[in-house]
Amino acid sequence: MTRAVCIVPVMLAWGAVAAVPPPAVTNPPPAPPAAAPAFERLVYQDSGGFTGRGTGKWLALSGSGRLEIRRRGGPAATRQLSDEELAAVRQAVAAVDWKTVEPLYRSRGADLLNNELSVTIDGRTYRTSADQLAKLPPGLRALFKRLDALHRQAAANKKQPDAP
């Protein structure tokens, strides 16, 4: 009989522990999106074409967002990108797999315009050139499109350029 008395309190204690609900599991808050890697400098221009001189498109962008553009037949302009514009360029730069970018992308054809890009990321400069019909990796093509749009927008801006 003594044994039964000893076992009952142990079973009651064990049952009491089992009846306690486990602590609520909380998921950690989602990590903030990783910031796009900053680039120190980016230069984008064209060349080639029928005359061999391209269209005169030239764009330089600092990592802090200072944009300089030149175009044939028009004045040079300098302005500061908005935070949103700079973030979009940084995301486009981050979307490119720079380790696999080839220095030259060519298609068959004559008198094609060539887009030339030089971008410095963490002290390393990557350079590539692609004619207008070349097959490009999607990230690089998207970056070229973003830079073309940025150049067009800045060149079309009728406001006085910012002072350097």
Question: Is pLDDT of 98 > 60?
Answer: yes
Choose from 9-13, 23-27, 31-35, 134-138 the range with maximum mean pLDDT: 134-138
Domain positions in the chain: 39-156
Per-residue confidence (pLDDT) for residue 76, from 0 to 100: 87
Question: Is pLDDT of 68 > 60?
Answer: yes
The residue among 68 and 35 whose pLDDT is bigger is 68
Per-residue confidence (pLDDT) for residue 124, from 0 to 100: 96
Place of tokens 């992308």: 105
Question: Is pLDDT of 159 > 60?
Answer: no
Per-residue confidence (pLDDT) for residue 62, from 0 to 100: 97
* Class level of CATH domain 39-156: alpha beta
Question: Is pLDDT of 161 > 70?
Answer: no
Q: Which of 28-42, 63-77, 118-132 is least confident?
A: 28-42
Instruction: Encode pLDDT of 101-132 as tens digits.
Output: 999 999 988 778 889 999 999 999 999 999 98
The residue among 22 and 5 whose pLDDT is bigger is 22
